[in-house]
Amino acid sequence: MKENNHQKSNRESKNIVISDKMPGLPYSKGIMASSIMATGLAPDIAYKVAGDIENYLKQNEIFSLTVKRLRNITYRTLKERVGDEVAERYLRWQSLGRLGKPLIILIGGATGVGKSTISAQLANRLSITRLVSTDIIREVMRASISEKLIRPLRGSSYNAGQNLSYPLPGGDPVILGFREQTLAVVVGVQAVMRRAVDECTHIIIEGAHICPGYIDISNLVNGAVVMQVVITVDNLQLHKDHFLIRDIETRGSRPFLKYILNIDSIRKIQGYIVSLAQEHGVKIVNSYNLDLTLNEILDYMNEVLVREFEVPAGQKAASQIPLRA
C-alpha cells in the first residue's frame, strides 16, 4: 500500500535513539558530522553524510539501534559515498576507545604560526573537549611557585633571554632563554599529560614550549597514543601578517608592533624548533592555509593510529621522542 502524507510525516518526525546509551541518546546530525570530520572530510560533506544516514534510518524505520550498528551503517555509507580510505579512517578513529588509552596531541611552533587557531579547529573536528595552552601552564606555575624559581617563567618565549637565571659564557641569549623557560614549563606539561593518562581523556596541548626533545614520553608510550607536530610559517611576510590579524581580532590587546619588534627573535626560535624536529623525527607542517594544515595533521594522525593498531604495545620503542639533556 502506498504511504500517505500523514504516515510519511509521522515517520519523519519520529526520533531516532541509541538504545545502549541510557536513557536513550537521540541521534544527532551534529555529533555524527563531528565524528566523521575526524577522517579529514570537510564540514559540509560531513554534514551531508550525517543527513544521509539519518534519512536512511528513517526510510527503513530504524528508530532504535546500538552504537555498534550505527557505526556499521556509517562505515557503509562512507564507503559508498566517499570511498574506502575515508571509511577505514572513520572505523580506526572510532576503534581508538578499544585501546583503553587516550590520544595526546602535542602542537608546537614559534609565536604567531597559528598554533591556537589550528588546535581549536582540530579539537572541534575530533570532538576533543580538553585543549590546554603552555602559556596557561606557565602562568599557573608562576602563580604557585616561589619568586626564586619563577624567573625563567617571566616574559614570552621570544624574550625569555632577558630573564636567564645566571649569565652564561657563550651561546645566543634568545635560544638560551627559550631553552631555560621551556625546561621549566615542560614540568607542567608532563603533569597535564599524566593526568590525561590517569583519566583516559583525549587532550590537545599547544604552545611554543612543546619543543621536540624536551618532553619525555617514555613512561607514557603504553598508556597513551602520543603524536607531536611542529607548525611553521616559512614565509616571513605571511608570518608578519598573522600578527596583524591577531591585533585586529583581539582589538589591540595583542599589538602588532610588539611582535614585529621581536620578529628576528621569533624567527630564530622557529629555526631552532625546526632543527630539533628534524633531529628527533617530529612531523613538521608548513602552515599557509588553515584547511590544508588541518588535513595534513589529520592525515598524520591516521598514520599514527595505523601504527598503533599494527604494533603490539609491548613491542613499542621505549621512547619515540628522546629527552633532550
Q: What CATH code is carried by the domain that includes residue 133?
A: 3.40.50.300
Residues 198 and 283 in one domain: yes
- How far is it, in rounded angstroms, from Cα 191 to Cα 244? 34
**Within a domain: 323:** no
Judge whether 320 lies within some domain.
no
Last residue of a domain, one of 97, 114, 148: 97
Same domain membership, residue 187 and residue 311: yes
In this structure, are 59 and 80 located in the same domain?
yes
Considering the domain boundaries, does residue 325 fall inside one? no
* Assigned domain for 238 exists: yes
Q: How many domains does the chain have?
A: 2
Are 267 and 295 in a shared domain?
Answer: yes
DSSP 23: T
Are both 251 and 203 inside the same structural domain?
A: yes
Residue 324, domain member (yes or no): no
Residue 53: which domain range?
5-97
Compute CA distances 233 → 57, 93, 114, 125, whole Å. Answer: 45, 29, 9, 22
Note whether 159 and 290 are same-domain residues. Answer: yes
Confidence at residue 246, expressed as pLDDT on a 0 to 100 scale: 87
Considering 97, 126, 156, which residue would you say is the last residue of a domain? 97
Please check whether residues 90 and 22 belong to one and the same domain. yes
**pLDDT score recorded for residue 110:** 96
Angle between helices 134-144 and 173-199 in degrees, nearest 10: 90
* Same domain, yes or no: 87 and 111: no
118 and 252 housed in the same domain: yes
Choosing from 73, 97, 121, the residue where a domain stops is 97
Q: Does residue 322 belong to any structural domain of this protein?
A: no
pLDDT (0 to 100) of residue 323: 39
Q: Verify that 91 and 189 share a domain, yes or no.
A: no
C-alpha distances (whole Å) from 119 to each of 57, 297, 302 are 34, 10, 17
Both 126 and 86 in a single domain? no
In a domain, 46, yes or no: yes
Residue pointed to by grid coordinates 630564530: 268
Per-residue pLDDT of the chain (325 residues; tens, 9 = 90+): 455 544 444 445 678 898 876 566 888 898 899 889 988 888 899 999 999 999 999 999 999 999 889 999 999 999 999 999 999 999 888 888 777 899 999 999 999 999 999 999 999 989 899 999 999 998 888 777 655 555 555 556 666 656 655 545 557 889 998 998 899 899 999 999 999 999 999 999 999 999 999 998 877 878 899 999 999 999 999 999 999 988 888 888 888 888 999 999 999 999 999 999 999 999 999 999 999 999 999 999 999 998 888 755 444 443 343 334 3
Same domain, 198 and 250: yes
